Structure formats: structure tokens, C-alpha cells
Amino acid sequence: FVKERGKNDFMIFNQLMEHQSLERRLLENALRQGINEQQFYLEYQPKINMSTNELIGMEALVRWKHPDLGIIPPGKFIPLAEETGLIVPLGEWILRESCRQSSAWQDQGYPPLHLSVNVSVSQLEDIYFVDKVKTILHETGLDPKWLEFEITESVLASVKSTVSILKEIRNLGIHISVDDFGTGYSSLSYIKDLPIDTLKVDQSFVKDIHTNKESKEIAKAIINLAKSIGLNVIAEGIELKEHVDELSKDGYILGQGYFFSRPLKVGAFEDFMTTNHAAS
């Protein structure tokens, strides 16, 4: 019986694996085709100075609209895009498109905003990355002082050549932000070794900040750490008024989250800029 059972489990396991790798291959092909056929678009999520309520920037977030499958969230395809290297051409498109859009908004007379773009490990490892960035800045005319790269803590702590690449990026005038800070399970030593500008407090610390003393103390500790070594700090995942209240108690801090706005399509973001500008 045990033998039978084991055999069956094995067959089911095999079928599952085949199924998964089939699904993976289908998704990979769809991803490749999606890049060629430009099925991607960007949404922009506001970043707010929580003590003045002022709009100060935005994060570009990629969306995939597949003709049959509909909207596929980044959590589903970014990991695969990274594994297959497709994030390199996709990431280049994301950077070019978001810089072009930011530059166009400034030309149209909207108040200039900081633009944050997520950059993944394969992009940093691409030897042409810095050249591509230079070309994009040149093509789009965006002043690099408005551009920031969000790089996750685990990537920053793991890539060997990060220091020199980050220095080159920094020399172009682009800022560096540590995304999902506090979740990378790494030592903090990279903070003093790497040229970074901002810590982005992960949403897991923000979520229960108003009900859980530990979360609150961790968030406060990160904010104090950042401030005391001269870094900027922003909290992500602000969903409630209570989150704003808890975090802005201790003075100037930036925030991003559904409480202020979900990520917005171009037209809706323009409305947000107009309203916010009129209000301030």
C-alpha cells in the first residue's frame, strides 16, 4: 500500500511539475511576445510629504495587459522576467517611458516631481546599464536630479559590483533608494559602504503600527537611523489616517499608500496633480 501510494504521489508530483513548467513556458513566451507587442503600461503612485500633505513625487509601477488573460499583476511576471533576463529589455522600456512621461509633464507646466523607478538585479548586472541610462536621460531630456532608482535591500546587499555601479549612477545625479527596507535579512553594514540617499520603510512595519507596539518601535528606529546618518526616509503602505498620525508625530516624513492614492493611470495622475496643486 505504501509503495502504491508513493508511486501515485510521484506521478502526481511529475504531472504537477510538467504542468508548472508548461505554464512557465507559456508565460515566458507570452512575456516575450508582450514586450514585442508593447502590452505594458505604467501607473504612477503619488508620494506625499505627510506633514504638509504636499505631492512631492511618484513611483512608476509596471502593468501588463494581456489581450486574452487581462491585467496580470507585477508579482506574477516580474520574478519570471528576472529569471529569464527579459527584465533587461522590459526595464529599459519602463525607464525610458517613465522618464519621457515625467519630462513631458514638466514641459506641460505641471510642477516638477521626483520620479522613482524600480531597478532589478539583472539590470544592475547588465554591463550596458549605465550607458542605457545615459542615453535615456539624453533622449528624454529629464534632469537626472528628479530621478531615483528603487533597489531592494536584498539586491543591494548581495551584488558584488554594486558599489561601483551605484557610484556611477550617483555621479550622473540620480538618487538611490533602498526598497522594502527591513525585510532583506542582511547585516546593516552595506548602509555605510554604499552611496544611498533614502530608506523606504517596508509596508509590513507600517500595517499595524497603530495597534502593535513592536511595529511602531521598529518603524521609529528605522526613521531615527535614517535621519541620524543623513538619509531621507519614506514609509510605504500607508492605508489609514492612523498610519499618517503615528508616523508624522515625530516630524517631517514622506509617505506612499492607498490612503493618499492607489497607483494611477496617466490621466488620473494628471487630475491628481491638478487637484493637489490647486489645494496647496
Q: Which positions lie near Mg ion, rule CB under 5 A?
A: 118, 150, 179-180
Contact between 237 and ligand C2E by CB under 6 A: the answer reads: yes
Give the residue at shortest CB distance from ligand C2E.
257
Which of residues 67, 73, 111, 251 is near ligand C2E by CB under 6 A?
Answer: 73
Torsion angle, alpha carbons of 91, 96, 101, 106, to 10: 130
How distant, in Å, are the alpha carbons of 45, 61, 127, 142 from that of 114? 11, 14, 26, 11
Least distance in Å: CB of 78 to ligand C2E? 5
Give phi and psi for 93, each to the nearest 5: -65, -45
Give which of ligand C2E, Mg ion, none residue 239 binds (C-beta under 5 to 8 Å, depending on kind).
Answer: ligand C2E
Contact pattern from residue 93 through residue 112 relative to ligand C2E, giving x for each residue in contact according to CB under 6 A and a dash for the rest: -x------------------
DSSP letters for 108-139? TTPPP-EEEEE--HHHHH-TTHHHHHHHHHHH
Cβ(204)–Cβ(183) below 8 Å: yes
Question: C-alpha grid cell for residue 39?
Answer: 502590452
Number of residues that bind ligand C2E (CB under 6 A): 25
The alpha carbon of 134 is separated from its chain's Cα centroid by a whole number of angstroms, namely 20
Rounded Cα distance between 142 and 270, Å, is 18
Contact between 203 and ligand C2E by CB under 6 A: the answer reads: yes
Least distance in Å: CB of 91 to ligand C2E? 6
Cβ(274)–Cβ(255) below 8 Å: no
Contact between 257 and ligand C2E by CB under 6 A: the answer reads: yes
Contact between 120 and ligand C2E by CB under 6 A: the answer reads: yes
Q: Judged by CB, which is closer to ligand C2E: 6, or 101?
A: 101
Given the rule CB under 6 A, which residues bind ligand C2E?
45, 60-62, 73-75, 78, 87, 91, 94, 118, 120, 150, 179-180, 203, 236-239, 256-258, 263
